[in-house]
Structure 1
Amino acid sequence: MNIETALKEAMTVDGAIGVALVDYESGMSLGTLGGGPALDLELAAAGNTEVVRSKMRTLASLAMDDTIEDILITLGQQYHLIRPLGSSSGSLFLYLALDRSRSNLALARHSLKRIENGLEV
């Protein structure tokens, strides 16, 4: 599936507020959908590049031969899921913000994995 279709699919996840496909090397979004007054998606996506970069550096410093499946940030009213894409996709990650009261975290993680597997960049 292309980027637009993947973003639309992610917005069908229960509780989805917004989604972005982001390049963590540049901090630029390749596409966004959703957001609004409750969430500046461009700013949040760019800011989360630092989270991904930091975790990548930590893995390298620890000489861990492993990959990040996803990163979860739990807020009082929201979940923020960050899913780095496989190495064949370069330095990209999917970022999904969810309304905590309307979402199922396990299903959201499963959905992002499915979307990642179908995404062609």
Structure 2
Amino acid sequence: MNIDTALKEAMSIAGAVGVALVDYESGMSLGTSGGGDWLNLELAAAGNTEVVRSKLRVMSTLALNDSIEDILITLHRQYHLIRLLNSMKNRSSLFLYLVLERDSSNLALARHNLRRIEADLVV
């Protein structure tokens, strides 16, 4: 599946507000969908790049021999889900960033769907 199709599928997840495919080495998004006036996905992509980089630095400092599946940030009204792409088909410096409305989403199902999208995505 290509980037546009992956973003459309992510936006079909119940409660999805916006999604971005981001390269955390550069902080740039490769594509976005949704967002709206109150959610600047380009700015959010750059900011969440720092979240990913910070967690990777901590893991390196602690000499953890593991990889990040996803990072969850819970707000009162939203979930912000960062899914690092670790499949064999994709570069390892990419992540999917998904914003969900908390009241209308199912976090477990959203994580499952992002894992499926990751597996099918070819960049």
TM-score tier (shorter): over 0.9
Paired-residue identity, %:
73
2: CA distance between counterparts of 1:87 and 1:61? 24
1: CA distance between counterparts of 2:59 and 2:85? 16
Please list every run of 5 or more consecutive structure 2 residues that lacks an aligned counterpart in the other structure: none
Q: In structure 2, give the amino acid aligned to 1:95.
A: Y
Q: Aligned runs of 1:80-119 on 2, under 5 Å?
A: 80-86=80-86, 88=88, 89-119=91-121
Q: In structure 1, give the amino acid aligned to 2:120.
A: G
Q: How many residues are paired up?
A: 121
2: CA distance between counterparts of 1:76 and 1:39? 16
Please list every run of 5 or more consecutive structure 1 residues that lacks an aligned counterpart in the other structure: none
Q: In structure 2, give the amino acid aligned to 1:110.
A: H
2: CA distance between counterparts of 1:113 and 1:3? 15
Q: In structure 1, give the amino acid aligned to 2:112.
A: H
Q: In structure 2, give the amino acid aligned to 1:73.
A: I
Q: Aligned runs of 1:1-121 on 2, under 5 Å?
A: 1-86=1-86, 88=88, 89-121=91-123
Tell me the TM-score normalized by structure 1.
Answer: 0.97
RMSD: 0.9
